[in-house]
Structure 1
């Protein structure tokens, strides 16, 4: 078959029409040409984010265009902060859909993590939006039937919304290897944080997964001395049994 020929659906070679543009129906994806390289993809995405700043600390969500992140597009996503420590996908690339086995737009970011790691993810998200600051996460998914072991990396870059508040984030999630049977969920192995302005103070994630820093004070009833606990007789004396047959002076039942 020559270069000037294509194949139809039955495999029959057919010549190209005169003047027809070459490769007009071809779609190229980075994943089709070799394994993903997390460091390279994240470096390109961060460089694009840095280029959007143009002297500002945080770029705007409206400045992000798909054509600017073509090689990272399959792995990229846009987040919206919906509550303290919680964010959902506004847009997501094909790689994330393959990992989850469904469309992820509208789903929370924590759906990609196992329950034991979601507390830490919530702390990291809050630092990204409140800092604001940059975060990189190292993830791991153990092997099981139909699911090979996966190592993954995630990058979170803060963005400003149309209202000017930092409630959006540009990010990417790259898993190395075949996803296997979906959905795939990960454990959070570690996270690194970087200031958006060199030398700025970082907001460290709080240890919410550890629970209270100290046990809560025991409950005590009001108007009682700290050293005095009511005896069973005193507690019983506070209650009075009222019979429905007992009547007030006006002849009405007591309630």
Structure 2
């Protein structure tokens, strides 16, 4: 943490900056998924996922398919998951990443994801041992629909903080949180109704309006000496000289 003194003013937390950088892949995938979400909260189709839309997060992302009420198998796996387990995770259950004693918790969360279309977030802590140093992780699971319309697919992201070390690395679940896709949007205040042309005529925008200038009629012509009507001469006059 760096600062310039003065009671904490101007202090920049490097820890928070590092956390934001580490969680960037999760935020990218979530934002992409929300962009595909229907206005009524309808879960996106698996066929709508374009890898180019999450290019900077592909290393940490994965796609899965439901194969049992509380179990999903990975169809596509990012290289980071393969590095954590020391093998190609494609075709393996997602629960392979989780310690056996916590797999029931994961299964219950998976059931809510597929049955109710909820977003699932997990805070993870890796098992430690010989060649396995301190390692934490954050996982995000988002539901997807198959081409048949059933919610039996998912897209996920797993990022870790620390050295991978000796593999495989399995994780204990520290916490699980779930929410409906539109829960966050519902908390935002409603946008005001757009103003029509008639509304603008009745209620001008004060912030952009200029002060009105009162109308003043032109002054009446004043007459000078006899024969002088007070009219101004034209700007151009023809002058004839016969001296030559």
Distance (Å, rounded) in 1 between the aligned partners of 2:19 and 2:176: 23
CA shift in 2, pair 1:195/1:54, >3 Å: closer
- Who is 2:92 aligned against? 107
Give SS of 2:23's match: helix
Whether 1:157 aligns to 2:121 is no
2:61 and 2:155 in contact (8 A); partners too: yes
Q: How far did 1:186 drift?
A: 0.4
2:127 and 2:169 in contact (8 A); partners too: no
Matches within 5 A, 1:81-230: 81-198=66-183
- Who is 2:36 aligned against? 52
CA shift in 2, pair 1:59/1:99, >3 Å: same
Distance (Å, rounded) in 2 between the aligned partners of 1:127 and 1:38: 27
CA shift in 2, pair 1:183/1:139, >3 Å: same
Kindly provide the CA deviation profile for residues 165-205 of structure 1, in whole angstroms up to 9, marking residues without a partner as x. 000001101111221111100001110111012289xxxxx
Match among 10, 26, 32 for residue 42 of structure 1: 26
Number of residues of Structure 1 aligned to a counterpart in Structure 2: 167
Q: How far did 1:41 drift?
A: 1.7
CA shift in 2, pair 1:120/1:50, >3 Å: same
Whether 1:72 aligns to 2:57 is yes
Give SS of 1:182's match: coil
Answer with 1 or 2: which has the greater Rg.
Answer: 2
Distance (Å, rounded) in 2 between the aligned partners of 1:192 and 1:199: 14
Unaligned segments of structure 1, at least 5 residues: 1-33, 201-255
Kindly provide the CA deviation profile for residues 19-75 of structure 1, in whole angstroms up to 9, marking residues without a partner as x. xxxxxxxxxxxxxxx999443221111000011124351100001111110111100
- Who is 2:202 aligned against? none
Distance (Å, rounded) in 2 between the aligned partners of 1:137 and 1:164: 26
The CA RMSD over aligned residues, in Å, is: 1.9
Distance (Å, rounded) in 2 between the aligned partners of 1:36 and 1:118: 28
Q: How far did 1:143 drift?
A: 2.4
Distance (Å, rounded) in 2 between the aligned partners of 1:47 and 1:127: 21
